[in-house]
A and B are shown apart, each in its own frame.
Chain A
């Protein structure tokens, strides 16, 4: 019996709300949520990640007030100026303020991340759970399709889709989403397969629950945690892919201030004007690192066994 420890509650700081007996389902859920938040907050790196993400959101929301210049205003007399008190991160080859472009660029980054996540998550989750729950022919067909997607290197496949759909921000989002869902579906399916044979699913069936009710009421809530963690960890690679597409000129089109495209444009001037690539490069790195740290912290809370 290795579980003696859990038999006797250890000392914990008293928090009135957490220590009182829940009197409704909502309250029980909130208590559970708070305990999770508490665990998350005790992880310093994860909190750092979350802070950066919150900062990113704030910057995107208040871009017009934070930016010092119009991000698209060209001023050739000011071209390629190094960082100064007027242009904090310097200016690019058209004399546009890089700081302001980075600030507005956060909107583009968030737009891509959000759009990809809200399409990939539900699609992957539903396809994976349905396929895992029913098994048989449905499962075989769906899994062969995901095999097909997973057989290509992600970026190559994305490039192919963009080539078909044509360059542009929306097309880039669509292409990233198209290549992203199979991984999520695989994960959800694997989880479903183990949950499917558990006694609590058998009990649900014995109560007369329909397959749909079991999938949505019992299986998805359990799969959700690992899918959320995977999505969060995947956001970093979404940002990198989007930047990569921008860099290759297949993502956001000029003059949209997209970080990858900015890095690409600055490449020609890299030797003389280092700030052109450095600023957006650092922005990409910091934000993807933040999503990774946040995802790791989330995993410790939602999915402690895979630590």
Chain B
């Protein structure tokens, strides 16, 4: 059973000369209950894929199927109850003038769901936030606590797909461990499907069985993490990405420089 099916997803930003194709015919499937990883360097379009699926961008072409149902470009309330997203920067993704309570109550009010007090208590417990933090403003919370609030906000409508856009890259390693554990626990309990974007292959390796490697708007390959870590990836780029994440190695740096010089330049704009 596929939870998310993306077929030939393309999106173009800018007009005329500045036109850039950020995604070029991206296709992949995510099984129900799976944690699927999207890796790539900056500019590879990995976050753009998430934003298209979430419904934040509306001018894409191609096909996105959620639970077998094609979704349109427009964001509908029904889609909001199926898919939610957690953003990278816990400092920018919470409204600075809303308390945790206000942030969590808003979606319930929008969707006309009663019993909000109990649901908020439950979701705070699920993400491991102490009840006394419920009436704090974001500036009174640490980075890890904020990210838990962001996860709670994504969970409160009980979606079955969670899009995670670098959910731990702004956090310290010890806090990252806590947040990743929270995400794993919730998935085990609720059977959610995760689509996880990260530049950190160790995080992807910890969470995902399968992943797609992206480069410049294209999917290089969809590969099992076991194959990638066992140097059995098909594409040289994927292997290089993995090796480069692993450790610092002088000769590897030389290889990359050589590869870059054979390929395009590193200057952009003009």
Contact = CB atoms under 8 A, between A and B. Distances in A.
Do A and B contact each other directly (Cβ–Cβ < 8 Å)?
Answer: yes
Contact of A199 (B92, B98, B110, B135): B92
Contacts of B80: 206-208
Q: Is the interface of B mostly helix, strand, loop or mixed?
A: loop
B59 interface: no
A22 B87 contact: no
A27 B94 CA distance: 20
Given A27-B135, A200-B93, A203-B93, A208 B56 contact: no
Interface string A176-208: 000000000000000000000011101111111
Nearest to A198: B92
Interface string B56-94: 100000000000000000011100110111011100111
10 nearest A-B residue pairs (beta carbon): A199-B93, A22-B135, A207-B107, A208-B80, A208-B77, A199-B87, A28-B135, A200-B95, A21-B132, A199-B92
A61 interface: no
Contact of A28 (B75, B111, B136): B136
A63 B99 CA distance: 44
- Interface size classification for chain A: 20 to 34
Contacts of A38: none
Contacts of B81: 208
Contacts of B111: 207-208
B106 A25 contact: no
Contacts of A199: 87-89, 92-93
A69 to B, nearest CB: 50
Interface in B138-188: 150, 153, 157
Contact of B101 (A25, A32, A198): A25
A119 to B, nearest CB: 25
Contacts of B54: 206
A32 B96 CA distance: 12
Contact of B75 (A21, A27, A208): A208
Given A200-B92, A202-B56, A209-B106, 17 more contacts: A21-B132, A22-B99, A24-B135, A28-B99, A198-B93, A199-B89, A200-B96, A202-B51, A203-B85, A203-B153, A204-B106, A208-B80, A209-B110, A213-B110, A218-B95, A221-B95, A222-B95
A217 interface: yes
A23 B102 CA distance: 13
B110 A202 contact: no
Contacts, number: 81
Interface in B86-130: 87-89, 92-99, 101-102, 106-107, 110-111
B158 to A, nearest CB: 13
Contacts of B217: none
A221 B97 CA distance: 7
Contacts of B83: 206
A88 to B, nearest CB: 48
Contact of B136 (A22, A204, A209): A22
B40 interface: no
B85 A222 contact: no
B28 interface: no
12 contacts: A28-B99, A28-B101, A200-B92, A202-B56, A202-B85, A202-B87, A205-B56, A206-B56, A208-B76, A208-B81, A209-B110, A218-B95
B55 interface: yes
A217 to B, nearest CB: 7
B44 to A, nearest CB: 20
B88 to A, nearest CB: 8
A23 B150 CA distance: 20
B237 interface: no
Contacts of B77: 208
A221 B55 CA distance: 25
